[in-house]
Amino acid sequence: MRELVARCLMAGIPGTSLPPGLLDHCAGLILFTRNVASGDQVRELTSAARAARPDVLIAIDAEGGPGGHLAALGAPEGLGNRALGRADDVSLTRRAGAEIGAELAGLGINVDLAPCADLDSRADNPIIGARSFGADPALVARHVLAFVSGLESQGVAACAKHFPGHGGTSADSHLELPVAALTPEDLVPFRAAAGAGVPMMMSAHVTYPALDAAPATLSPAVLTRLLRDDVGFGGVLVTDALEMRAISDRHGFAEAAVLALAAGADLVLIAVGDADIAGVNDAVVAAVESGRLPRSRLEEAAARVSALARRYP
């Protein structure tokens, strides 16, 4: 059972090497600036992770544009999404995705938690802004597909985020729980990505009162009925990081992980480097054994994650 749960957990690490035993409790790692010192160091880290768990998923947020978690490697800055959207040249966007994918693949990273499929629909949005390709849903959709295609051409899994749309918020989910209306336009890029077979999507820590009082990450109405049944997405659904205050102000990691998996998430992301991942694994096991979390839901999630790992070795 603990191995089944491990396939549904992705964790951060504190430094530049793999903590002993971590991958006994989770099947995924996410890297940040704190984990990147040099190209050789990152390759040693990813090689050590694969030696410990050959089917490991190793992720990073590499959306393009200034800065980024690989800046310490001297990587050239690419065009950000806003600039790509304004240029509106899908071949350029595909090339930008391919360049990022090639860099990640060369470091042993097989998942890019990008691109943003959110609309830039509010000028006062503190967290999306230039990370979006634009405000027009058709434009955003075609550039999301182009960026995904570029990553895929290098053997890197793409992840459209943040479902069902973070662009209409006026609050930052890293700091508080945003509340937003959801429009049909918000869903256009996600529907396009699902139709094109994007392998992953990420949930938003945003509440949409017309759908549910709970944030999307913890909502069966959003993750199962809307995303799976209506949008038709069949890939891996990963949560945004559970330490973000939209979630952590209300739930501990273990409880949030159980709620997210029950709602329909397949891969739970806890990105801080000092989290008790073994304890989270134990709590999910206990939830299954007590009947709070159906084993069939966990088996479904683990099967999707395992299929993704086989597709992107």
Q: State how far the Cα of 14 lies from the Cα of 89, in Å rounded to an integer.
A: 39
Catalytic residue flag (residue 69):
no
CB burial readout 250-260, b (16+ within 10 A) else e: ebebbbbbbbb
CA separation, residue 58 to residues 140, 260, 313 (Å): 26, 21, 10
Tokens of 33: 């600036």
> CB–CB of 60/113 below 8 Å?
yes
CA separation, residue 159 to residues 60, 283, 289 (Å): 11, 27, 31
Give the Cβ contact number of residue 248 at 10 Å.
Answer: 16
CB burial readout 190-206, b (16+ within 10 A) else e: bbbbbeeebbbbbbbbb
Tokens of 25: 């409790």
Question: Does an H or E element contain 197, and which?
Answer: none
Identified catalytic residue from 174, 251, 276, 282: 174
Tokens of 152: 């895929």
Catalytic residue flag (residue 162):
no
> CB–CB of 85/137 below 8 Å?
no
Tokens of 165: 């749309």
- Which residues are identified as catalytic? 174, 240
